[in-house]
Every structure is written in structure tokens, then in C-alpha cells.
Amino acid sequence: MRIDILTILPQLLESPFSDSILKRAQTKGLVEVHLHDIRSYSTNKHNKVDDTCYGGGAGMVMTIQPIADCIDKLKSEREYDEIIFMTPDGELLDQPMANQLSLKKNIMMLCGHYKGIDERLREKYITKEVSIGDYVLSGGELAAAVLSDSIIRLVPGVLNDETSALTDSFQDNLLAPPVYTRPSNYKGMEVPPVLLSGNFKEIDKWRTEKALERTKARRPGLINKGEE
């Protein structure tokens, strides 16, 4: 899989991709992440990438030219399955969306800033608009990092057995059950005895019960999500 991220702040995105699982995915050759500085595509003599809003009003709008040139160049090099714009008015990211995107080959992500991007860019190039939650970030970069992380960890071979995504919260519309590790007694706080019993049928049953209990208490809407 290849992810191309278009941003005016490439340095902001360097660290999330240089550590831990996202780094390992790239070192293993399973995923390529390329950051593109939109400003370097600007033909303006001051490398401007934004301008005032037609019709008046506060806030700047990202201009068409540098973004269009960057997208056109990338599209001339390979076909993209999705060109995603990170925006608070996009479709809400959830686990099924991450699952679907993890099957794609080439994905572009465009990070917005200021008041947004010129609407004509959205009409011409964008195939999917994604929000990571109902709140407004200063720019799309952190959202693109979140979306990338949710996708990359699902690419086959990225996680090993111990970190397997199959037991994640949300994979079966349930939150994950509680987990424990050594010691079995910490200052009088004990691990549920069933987990020490070695009876895997009982352990599975206990985990399912706890996952259901937790989901009902915290996210009841998830339980019938498929039917909503």
C-alpha cells in the first residue's frame, strides 16, 4: 500500500510515521508513506497557498493551483483508489471505513487549513471526505495521521499475533473486554480467577460477557449498529 499526504506542514507529520508500528510497516516494505509540501508547488513568487474568501468574511481559503498541480503530478505517476480530503464535514471515520481502506493500493490524503480549500478542488479531484470526529482541529494533518494509523495497522503482516487487530474493540461491534497481566495480586487487587484457570472455554465466555457488559454500559448504540 502507498499513502501520499499533501500538506503545508510536512514536518508536523514526520514524527507519527517515524515510530513504532507505522515505522515498522514501512521498514518491512508493507507500506510506503510520502509527504508532499503543497507550498513547493506554488507558482506564486512568495509561495502563497491561500487567499481571501470570495463574497467576504473572515478566514483564508487554500487556492487551487498548488494543490491541483501536486495532485495532477501524482495522478500522472499512478492510479489512485481514493483521493481523500480531511475535513470536519466529511464522513465520520469508523472501523468499517478503516477496514475498507486497508484493502486499497494507492491512497492520497489532502490536509486542509484555514477556512478550507476552494470548492472546485473538491468537485474535481476529491473522491471521499473524512472527518475523525465532531470537533475542529487546526488542520487536517493530525486527522490524516489518525486515519493512516487506523488503516496501516490492518495491512496484512503489519501486526504480529500479539498485537492482532482481530481482538480490537469495534471489530465485532463490541468494545474489548478488560485485560490483566502479572502480578495476579497487586496490593490486594486480584485478577479475576477465571483468567488464571487455564479453562479456555470459560475464559472466552467470560471475555464475551465482559465485552457485552462494557459495550452496553458505555456505547449501547454499537450493539445494533448493523441495523441502524
Min. distance of Cβ 134 from ligand ADE in angstroms? Answer: 7
The correct pick among 74, 83, 86, 101 for binding ligand ADE (CB under 6 A) is 86
Question: What DSSP letter does each residue of 80-124 carry, written as one string?
Answer: -SEEEEEEEEEEEP-HHHHHHHTT-SEEEEEE--TT-B-HHHHHH
Q: Which is nearer to ligand ADE, 94 or 209 (CB)?
A: 94
Q: Per CB under 6 A, does 88 bind ligand ADE? A: yes
Applying CB under 6 A, does 54 fall inside the site for ligand ADE? Answer: no
Q: How far is 80 from 217, CA to CA, in rounded Å?
A: 41
Residue nearest to ligand ADE (CB): 143
Peptide linkage before 183 cis (omega within 30 of 0): yes
**In the set 62, 101, 137, 211, which binds ligand ADE (CB under 6 A)?**
137
Q: How far is the CB of 35 from ligand ADE (least distance, A)?
A: 17
Residues in the chain: 228
Window 90-129: contact mask with ligand ADE (x via CB under 6 A): ----------------------x-----------------
Strand duo 32-37 + 2-7: pairing: parallel
Under 8 Å between Cβ of 111 and 141: yes
Options 103, 136, 196, 223; binder of ligand ADE; rule CB under 6 A: 136
Of the residues 5, 70, 143, 165, which one makes contact with ligand ADE according to CB under 6 A:
143
The β-bridge partners of 107 are 3, 82
Q: Is 51 helix (H, G, I), strand (E, B) or coil?
A: strand
8 binds ligand ADE (CB under 6 A): no
- Does the CA dihedral 51-52-58-64 come out positive or negative? negative
Using CB under 6 A, list all residues that contact ligand ADE: 86-88, 112, 131-133, 135-137, 140, 143
